[in-house]
Amino acid sequence: MLKNKNVVITGGSDGIGLAISRKFAENGANLLLLARNTDKLELVQKELIKYKTEVHILSADLLNVKNLKNISKQVLQIMPHVDILVNNAGIARFVPFEEMDEELLDLHLNVNVKSLYLFTMYLFDSIKNQKGNILNISSYFSHRMLPGRATTAYSMSKGAVDAFTKSLAFETGKYNVRVNAIAPGSISTNQLNYNFEQLSDEGKIEFNNLIKSIYPLQRIGEAEDISEMALFLVSEKAKWITGSIMAVDGGLTTN
């Protein structure tokens, strides 16, 4: 489905990003994966070689927005023609509004908003030349809150991702460039599973009961659920879809 397409994925070595990397490689895409952890990137590269596509890796810290232009130049040296950009890298720290400080607020805005904006901007000419498309990973937290979760900074940043997705789609449609986003629900990742294991037995029961009460499908999702939607959105099957924020959340946002 993506044979010979060149794809750049940020945060491509873990969680949802890893699932998307696997799915795209399985479908013939050439990949350039960016993440901070070189060891994880190398493991993923070794794993994905079996699909007999090109798998490049680049250790990069997207926290440092001042270095994004240089990172983008490195990306274009490795992969001059970018068909698809997946902006997956992000950060989430759940701190009550009254306890938020400027440093932590800046962290959310720099990683989830500013770096996404600038990285897309620096790669855009290449994407435009390929009449390619951009996929952003948002969150249900952009418009749906949960009891016990203080998410003002994170929610604000993901709301910005949604607005960016729609406005960029509006601007770039004339170039045949499509821009969409996925808003996942709770996904079974290493981080979520680790957090779950830190709970007391009573806490685990409360968590499972909460999932059953707020998710119509009564379970959290798998990273592959997101990768299947990602594959669809960047493929020709979605050639008339742009500016959409696709909820893949087990029905969470129905209530």
Just list the catalytic residues: 154
Query: CA angle 180-232-213, nearest 5°?
Result: 80
Q: What is residue 106's DSSP assignment?
A: H
Greatest pairwise CA separation for the chain in angstroms = 55
d(CA 166, CA 181): 9
d(CA 90, CA 77): 24
**If you count them, how many residues does the chain have?**
255
DSSP 124-151: HHHHHHTT-EEEEE--GGGT---TT---
Q: What is residue 241's DSSP assignment?
A: -
Q: If DSSP codes are grouped into helix, strand and coil, which group holds residue 227?
A: helix
CA distances from 192 to 17, 27, 68, 136 (A): 15, 27, 29, 21
CA distances from 11 to 4, 34, 50 (A): 21, 6, 21
Q: If DSSP codes are grouped into helix, strand and coil, which group holds residue 32?
A: strand
CA 161 to chain centre: 10
Q: Radius of gyration (Cα) for the chain, nearest Å?
A: 18
Q: Which of 69, 91, 182 is nearest to 134 (CA)?
A: 182
